[in-house]
Amino acid sequence: MIFITIFGSLFNTKKTIAMDDNLDLTNQNMEYERINSEMIQDMEQQRVQREMMQDGGQPNNKGWIVLVVFVILVACMLAAFAANAQNVVFADREVEGRAMLNGDTDGDGHLSKAECDSLKSLNLTSYRTHLFLVSTYDDLAKFPNLEKIWLGESRIDTVDLSKNWKLKFVCVQSDSLKTLILAVGCTPTIHYPLHSGEITVKRILNPDAPGAMFFQY
């Protein structure tokens, strides 16, 4: 009987020790998990701090910066396109060059429609025009408010000035020029000191000229 009692006590003691060992193991695993979780959190915080230090201590705004730069570039491109769209394209470089001497008011090397509209005097007599470099006078229609014009030497026999209905003075210095076309109602003084022949003046209706409607009937 005493043996049975002693054996039972030993069995209960081993069982208690085993339970204590299991409990200690569980506690150790929980402690390991807690430590591992804290280490992960610390590493994440250190990563965030490093990124903020690289950005000067500010939140990461790289995406916003790229977007702002893109918007600015697009705006500049649209502004440049709009400015170029307003520039007038000329068929004859000689006429354009002579017009730019007085017409290029902003000095950008181009003539805008506003600059062409404001030009009132155009002198096409120079040593260059005597070399017969003017190929066409069609560009004169781009200057609707011209009041004075000097036509230099060229091989052109007809000049259409019907779009320049405000003309008050026309000087012709080319024997090749035989015909001037003027707007109905436009009566400029025509001067041709170096012209050896006669000049025929024809008139056509310019609907933009004041009172043009009265000449239609």
- Opening angle at CA 96, ends 130 and 122, nearest 5: 70
Model confidence at 114: pLDDT above 60: yes
Please determine, for residue 23, whether its predicted confidence score (pLDDT) is greater than 60.
no
Percent of the chain with pLDDT over 90: 33
Q: Among 14-18, 76-80, 99-103, 179-183, where is mean pLDDT lowest?
A: 14-18
SS3 132: coil
Burial call 12-30: b when 16+ CB within 10 Å, e when fewer: eeeeeeeeeeeeeeeeeee
Check if the beta carbon of residue 210 is closer than 8 Å to that of residue 190: no
* Tens digits of residue pLDDT in 41-86: 777 777 766 766 655 555 555 666 766 666 777 666 655 544 444 7
Instruction: Report yes or no: 88 and 142 within 8 Å, Cβ to Cβ.
Output: yes
Confidence at residue 6, expressed as pLDDT on a 0 to 100 scale = 45
Which residue's structure tokens are 């609707």? 144
- Show me where the domains of the chain are located: 2-60, 90-215
- Output the average pLDDT for the chain: 75
What order of strands is seen across the sheet that includes strand 148-151?
A: 121-123, 148-151, 169-172, 189-191
Q: Would you state the pLDDT for residue 74? A: 64
What percentage of the chain exceeds 70 in pLDDT? 59
Assigned token pair, 48: 């965030």
Integer-rounded Cα Rg, in Å, for the chain is 47
CA–chain centroid gap for 27, Å, is 71
- More reliable by pLDDT, 77 or 103: 103
pLDDT: is 182 or 78 the higher one?
A: 182
- Provide the phi-psi class of 165: left if phi over 0, else alpha when psi is between -120 and 50, else beta: alpha
pLDDT at 7: 41
Percent of the chain as helix, strand, coil, to the nearest 5: 50, 15, 35
- What is the model's pLDDT at position 217? 45
Task: Tell me the C-alpha to C-alpha distance, in Å, between residue 145 and each of 38, 68, 142, 161, 187.
Answer: 84, 44, 9, 11, 14
According to DSSP, the residues that pair with 11 across neighbouring strands are none
Tell me the one-letter amino acid at 212. A
pLDDT at 210 over 90: no
pTM above threshold 0.75? no
Q: What are phi and psi of 115, to 5 degrees?
A: -70, -40
Nearest-angstrom CA–CA distance, 169 and 161: 12
pLDDT of residue 176: 86
